[in-house]
């Protein structure tokens, strides 16, 4: 209590010009504050009259140097002692710390980017990726670039000319290469980018008029660009297989070729030539790369997603109708000539600092049946010669559903065309047609006799859709059902599928519709419209067998992904054929659809030959078509109407 009383005693401050009375308890603190003030006054600048002192930033550079000379000397001494003389880093760090202490993090981040040499602007390649991924046309991108620059005062996005320069390094025609022996009728110049698809086409007045716009890359330059894009994967693959990275080959590159027509790309308006509202895209995918090592071949690269649009490289694009045979041959013939020349030559290309040798194997598998028949000179899909793999007629295929082997080839089609053209045995048209098995035009693109998984799916789904309609109409009881009754059944089916399966009726069967239609749930929904229990069982068994067969020709590697179903395929296909010829005899007596024949007769042989059907499908090219439509829509000159 005595100490409490002592602490509360008031004492007058002894410092000159301080009249303050403070309690004994706080007297020590008060005296120390006087001491701090005195110390501060020793260092404070005394303005001895004259004009007021100016702020540091408003001074000239010379005056700033003069005022900060003492601080600069101290910082220099610290930098030499602690940081190896790096004054710049010390000053920058001080500035960063000062900014972050005041929570000015954005400015600090920009300063840090400059310190690391990144700058605040984006790299031209990044800007190009942004432009492409957001589907901006050049004019739209330029507008954005100008606006951002005007608002921020900084060049964050790069100008269009910088994007074009960056693009050149990503497109064919950038990397030097050589062919041994040189390609026949192909220029040795390697700096060839996008070229006109009609270049080199000499037209006379009497020739067929080519009303089209076509752009393409030279095939060899496009392949080189694709290989250079994959440089890291190739070198990593060699390392994974314990191969020396200095091996120069020869590397064997297997290429999948795809070609497909697109209907309705009619968004373009304005000036320019009148072109068809259809387009054709030709593209390729590098499927695998192997290297000869000793007596064996080691696979160092295999495409994991062979049906992705990312690995499907566009080669030629034309605004033309795929049914226009003359235009198709005029545009694609130079490509095919380059392809034929590359088969007999080796590519010399620098990869990883070493000149390496590449050979190419081309496999044309990404074609739907319509285009295969077009380019291989066969009659159209409705022909009695039902198959593009064997010589069976529709009647033969319906009687012997399962047991057929692949006999057709490009070379044989060429020979048959010569027989058709010259008729050496002087036969009648019917006998001659039977001799050449439906070859009636000159084949001009070599395709591999195969099945396109996507179009097989679509074709079979369309056939199941017809079976559903016929079952609802009870055609198995009464084959002579009227057109009106069939139409009524179709409307009932469409309405029920929309209600139960959320499937909207379509004019043409699409891949997504086909995938959704072919399911057990769909069959159960359809069975609700069919009265007879026996027909329920037949339909369910037919769909069940189909769903067991489908993964075999849809998967990229059936031996790994569905080995059991692969083993059961022959049994399932025979049972499926048996059902068609008994329970569904009303539809398949003396006839069968093209894709049912291929699915039931040829799948095991193709898988034995190629290892897969799904991996060699045209799906990647179809995905690319979707992108093309999107770009065309975004970049078109829109109608003023």
- Tens of pLDDT along 497-516? 999 999 988 878 888 899 99
604-639 burial by CB neighbour count: b if 16+ within 10 A, else e? eebbeeeebbbbbbbbbbbebbeebeeebeeeeeee
243-276 burial by CB neighbour count: b if 16+ within 10 A, else e? eeeebebebbbbbbbbbbbbeebeebeeeeeebb
For Cα atoms 144, 150, 152, give the angle at the middle one, nearest 5 degrees.
95
Collect all residues with Cβ–Cβ distance below 8 Å to 345 and sequence separation of at least 6. 179, 180, 181, 182, 183
CA count, 13 A, side-chain hemisphere, 560: 5
Cis peptide before 181, with omega less than 30 degrees from 0? Answer: yes
Structural tokens at position 83 = 């940081």
Percent of the chain whose pLDDT exceeds 70: 92
Least trusted range by pLDDT, from 103-117, 265-279, 479-493: 265-279
**β pairing state of 178-180 and 21-23:** unpaired
- The count of other CB atoms within 10 Å of the CB of residue 391 is 16
Do 545 and 572 touch, CB atoms closer than 8 A?
A: yes
Our separate counts of H helices and E strands in the chain read 27, 11
Residues 555-586 pLDDT 10s: 999 999 999 999 999 999 999 999 999 999 99
Residues 257-289 pLDDT 10s: 999 998 777 655 555 566 668 899 999 999 999
Residues 607-622 pLDDT 10s: 999 999 999 999 888 8
User: CA dihedral in degrees (509, 510, 513, 514; nearest 10)?
Assistant: 80
Instruction: Indicate if the pLDDT at residue 407 is higher than 90.
Output: yes
Confidence of residue 639 (pLDDT cuts 50, 70, 90): very low
* DSSP, residue by residue, 423-459: -TT---HHHHHHHHTTB-S---S---S---HHHHHHH
First-to-last C-alpha distance (Å) of the chain: 99
Do 313 and 218 touch, CB atoms closer than 8 A?
A: no
Confidence of residue 160 (pLDDT cuts 50, 70, 90): very high
Q: In whole angstroms, how large is the CA radius of gyration of the chain?
A: 39
Residues 123-139 pLDDT 10s: 899 999 999 888 888 89
139, burial (CB in 10 Å: exposed 0-12, middle 13-18, buried 19+): exposed
Strand partners, 214: 318
Instruction: Indicate if the pLDDT at residue 640 is higher than 50.
Output: no
Least trusted range by pLDDT, from 142-156, 462-476, 626-640: 626-640
Do 265 and 322 touch, CB atoms closer than 8 A?
A: no
| Residue 293 pLDDT | 86
Do 120 and 154 touch, CB atoms closer than 8 A?
A: yes
Beta strands in 91-230 (DSSP E): 178-180, 195-196, 214-216
Confidence of residue 290 (pLDDT cuts 50, 70, 90): very high
Collapsing DSSP to helix, strand or coil, 183 comes out as: coil
Instruction: Indicate if the pLDDT at residue 191 is higher than 60.
Output: yes
> Which CB contacts under 8 angstroms, 24+ apart, belong to 389-394?
389/449, 389/450, 389/451, 389/598, 389/602, 390/601, 390/602, 391/437, 392/597, 392/601, 394/590, 394/591, 394/592
Mean model confidence pLDDT for the chain? 88
What is the average per-residue pLDDT within 523-537? 93
Dihedral sign of CA atoms 7, 9, 10, 11 in order: negative
**β pairing state of 251-262 and 354-366:** parallel
Collect all residues with Cβ–Cβ distance below 8 Å to 60 and sequence separation of at least 6. none
Do 193 and 171 touch, CB atoms closer than 8 A?
A: yes
| Residue 635 pLDDT | 61
Note the Cα 188 to chain centre separation in Å. Answer: 30
Residues 29-55 pLDDT 10s: 887 777 766 655 555 555 556 667 788
């Amino acid at each position: 209590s005595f100490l409490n009383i002592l602490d509360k005693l008031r004492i007058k401050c002894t410092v000159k010009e301080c009249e303050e009375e403070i309690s004994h308890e706080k007297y020590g603190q008060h005296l120390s504050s006087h001491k701090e003030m005195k110390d501060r006054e020793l260092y404070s600048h005394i303005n001895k009259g004259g004009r007021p002192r100016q702020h540091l930033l408003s001074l000239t550079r010379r005056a700033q140097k003069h005022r900060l000379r003492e601080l600069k000397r101290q910082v220099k001494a610290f930098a030499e002692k602690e940081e190896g003389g790096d004054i710049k880093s010390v000053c920058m760090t001080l500035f960063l710390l000062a900014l972050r202490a005041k929570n000015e993090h954005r400015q600090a981040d920009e300063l840090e980017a400059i310190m690391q040499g990144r700058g605040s602007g984006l790299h031209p390649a990044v800007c190009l990726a942004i432009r492409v991924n957001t589907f901006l046309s050049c004019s739209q991108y330029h507008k954005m670039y100008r606006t951002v620059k005007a608002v921020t005062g900084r060049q964050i996005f790069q100008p269009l000319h910088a994007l074009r320069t960056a693009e050149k390094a990503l497109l064919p025609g950038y990397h030097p290469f050589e062919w041994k022996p040189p390609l026949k009728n192909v220029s040795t110049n390697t700096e060839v980018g996008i070229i006109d698809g009609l270049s080199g086409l000499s037209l006379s007045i009497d020739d067929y008029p080519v009303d089209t716009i076509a752009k393409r890359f030279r095939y060899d330059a496009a392949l080189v660009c694709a290989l250079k894009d994959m440089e890291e994967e190739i070198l990593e693959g060699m390392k994974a297989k314990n191969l020396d990275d200095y091996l120069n080959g020869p590397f064997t590159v297997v290429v999948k070729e795809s070609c497909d027509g697109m209907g309705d790309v009619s968004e373009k308006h304005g000036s320019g030539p009148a072109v068809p509202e259809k387009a054709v895209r030709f593209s390729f995918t590098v499927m695998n790369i192997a290297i000869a090592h000793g007596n064996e071949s080691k696979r160092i690269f295999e495409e994991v997603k062979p049906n992705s649009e990312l690995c499907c490289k566009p080669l030629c694009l034309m605004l033309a109708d795929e049914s226009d045979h003359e235009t198709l041959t005029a545009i694609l013939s130079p490509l095919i000539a380059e392809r034929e020349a590359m088969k007999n030559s080796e590519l010399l290309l620098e990869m990883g600092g070493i000149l390496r040798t590449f050979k190419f194997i081309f496999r044309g598998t990404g074609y739907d049946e319509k285009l295969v028949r077009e380019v291989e000179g066969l009659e159209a899909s409705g022909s009695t010669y039902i198959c593009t793999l064997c010589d069976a007629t529709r009647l033969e295929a319906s009687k012997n559903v399962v047991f057929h082997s692949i006999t057709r080839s490009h070379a044989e089609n060429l020979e048959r065309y010569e027989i058709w053209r010259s008729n050496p045995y002087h036969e009648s048209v019917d006998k001659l047609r039977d001799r050449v098995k439906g070859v009636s035009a000159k084949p001009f693109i070599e395709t591999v006799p195969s099945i396109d998984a996507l179009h097989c799916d679509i074709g079979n789904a369309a056939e199941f859709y017809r079976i559903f309609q016929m079952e609802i109409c009870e055609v198995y009881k009464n084959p002579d059902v009227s057109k009106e009754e069939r139409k009524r059944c179709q409307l009932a089916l469409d309405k029920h599928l929309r209600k139960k399966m959320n499937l909207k009726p379509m004019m043409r069967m699409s891949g997504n519709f086909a995938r959704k239609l072919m399911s057990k749930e769909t069959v159960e929904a359809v069975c609700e419209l069919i009265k007879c229990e026996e027909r329920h069982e037949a339909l369910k068994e037919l769909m069940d067998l189909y769903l067991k067969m489908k993964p075999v020709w849809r998967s990229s590697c059936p031996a790994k992904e569905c080995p059991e179903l692969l083993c059961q395929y022959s049994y399932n296909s025979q049972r499926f054929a048996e059902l068609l010829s008994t329970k569904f005899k009303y539809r398949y007596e003396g006839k069968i659809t093209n894709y049912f024949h291929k699915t039931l007769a040829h799948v095991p042989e193709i898988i034995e030959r190629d290892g897969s059907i799904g991996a060699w499908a045209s799906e990647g090219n179809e995905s690319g078509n979707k992108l093309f439509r999107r770009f065309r829509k975004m970049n078109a000159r829109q109608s003023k109407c």
